[in-house]
């Protein structure tokens, strides 16, 4: 290989790398600027929250507060800060299903008191549930078959997925990846 061939090769590699790097900021800015919204309906309280929780690369504290309120423990009224990754997971789940329908909440945050009571009544409730840490939600989405909701959640590989067809919901959480 001549010296000119070597220089030409290096120049082409450099130009190719530059072209790729020039595209990265556009991709990063596009993902930062895409607003993320969710709509919730709590089956126990009848409350709703329809909020844009992410815009311009930042979370909206008022939207998160509204979500925390509607996802509170409906038995005790206790409100807790929910994991922001859970909202991102739900947004991506809805997008993968191609639906704009609201998410119906069966269970969001659970106080330790409520979780202990439920665990004593059923072997299907974990004593150290992610619900008590604001990292889990039991949901249904009108117009979406439960098995399709489960399969889409499993495909994301972003946490635990529990399938409860006889109770009419799917559990998703932001813990380690697992299924039941």
Element (H, E) at 49: strand 48-55
pLDDT recorded at residue 27: 45
Q: Residue 28 pLDDT > 80, yes or no?
A: no
For residue range 117-174, list pLDDT tens digits in order. 998 998 788 888 999 999 999 999 999 999 999 999 999 999 999 999 999 999 999 9
Task: Count Cβ atoms within 10 A of the Cβ of residue 150 and give its class: 0-12 exposed, 13-18 middle, 19 or more buried.
Answer: buried
Q: Residue 1 pLDDT > 90, yes or no?
A: no
> Sign of the C-alpha dihedral, residues 153, 154, 160, 164?
positive
CA–CA separation, 12 vs 60, rounded Å? 45
What number does CATH give the domain 34-179?
A: 3.30.1380.10
CA–CA separation, 103 vs 37, rounded Å? 11
Q: Which of 58, 67, 71 lies closest to 138, judged by CA?
A: 71
Q: Residue 22 pLDDT > 80, yes or no?
A: no
Alpha-carbon distances, residue 40 vs 102, 124, 164 (angstroms): 5, 24, 20
Q: Are strands 160-164 and 136-140 parallel, antiparallel or unpaired?
A: unpaired
- The ranges assigned to domains in the chain are 1-32, 34-179
Candidate from 11-20, 47-56, 100-109 with smallest mean pLDDT: 11-20
Alpha-carbon distances, residue 7 vs 4, 17, 20, 107 (angstroms): 5, 15, 20, 64
């Amino acid at each position: 290989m001549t010296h000119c061939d070597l220089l030409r090769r290096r120049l082409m590699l450099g130009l190719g790398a530059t072209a790729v790097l020039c595209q990265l900021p556009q991709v990063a800015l596009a993902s930062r600027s895409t607003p993320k919204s969710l709509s919730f309906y709590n089956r126990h309280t009848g409350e709703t929250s329809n909020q844009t929780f992410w815009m311009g690369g930042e979370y909206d504290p008022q939207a998160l507060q509204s979500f925390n309120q509607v996802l509170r423990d409906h038995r005790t009224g206790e409100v807790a800060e929910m994991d922001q990754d859970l909202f991102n997971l739900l947004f991506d789940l809805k997008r993968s299903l191609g639906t704009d329908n609201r998410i119906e909440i069966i269970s969001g945050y659970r106080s330790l008191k409520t979780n202990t009571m439920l665990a004593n009544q059923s072997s299907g409730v974990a004593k150290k549930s992610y619900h008590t840490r604001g990292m889990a939600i039991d949901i249904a989405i009108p117009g979406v078959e439960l098995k399709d909701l489960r399969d889409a959640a499993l495909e994301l590989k972003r946490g635990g997925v529990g399938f409860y067809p006889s109770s009419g919901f799917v559990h998703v959480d932001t813990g380690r990846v697992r299924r039941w």
